[in-house]
Amino acid sequence: EVQLLESGGGLVQPGGSLRLSCVASGFTFSTYAMTWVRQAPGRGLEWVSTISGISDDTYYTDSVKGRFTISRDNSKNTLYLQMNSLRAEDTAVYYCAQDSGANRPLWAPYWGQGALVTVSS
């Protein structure tokens, strides 16, 4: 059974940093791309970033480029999202998702329960 468990969310001041983690189990982690999707309170879904299975390709939405960094440690079956220079508009539940392919982002069959990030002073 595929399981994805996010951690690292919390309250951070504007301009601050936070690192989200997502521990995966139930599948061969290195053979799948992994994706972060966020959802602001009461709003829709927003694709944030994807990393290929062997970390040779990364993709970001424009609003986080230069501020967020996606990475993974295949030896630990763990996906990360380092978030710097956080803004109020980054406040959201961040979902970790397993992608259906190994490289570019496609559809996501499995999702974690999400981690809440609140950016506020």
Partner 1 sequence: DIVMTQSPDSLAVSLGERATINCKSSQSLLYSSNSKNYLAWYQQKPGQPPKLLIYWASTRESGVPDRFSGSGSGTDFTLTISSLQAEDVAVYYCQQYYSTPNAFGQGTKLEI
Q: Report d(CA 83, CA 21) in Å as an integer.
A: 11
The stretch near partner 1 (CB under 8 A) out of 9-17, 68-76, 77-85, 98-106 is 98-106
How many CB atoms within 10 Å of residue 38?
22
- Non-local (6+) Cβ contacts of 47 within 8 A are 35, 37, 61, 105
Using the rule CB under 8 A, is 40 a contact of partner 1?
Answer: no
* Choice from 7, 47, 55, 91 touching partner 1 (CB under 8 A): 47
27 near partner 1, rule: CB under 8 A: no
Closest to partner 1 by CB, 66 vs 109, is 109
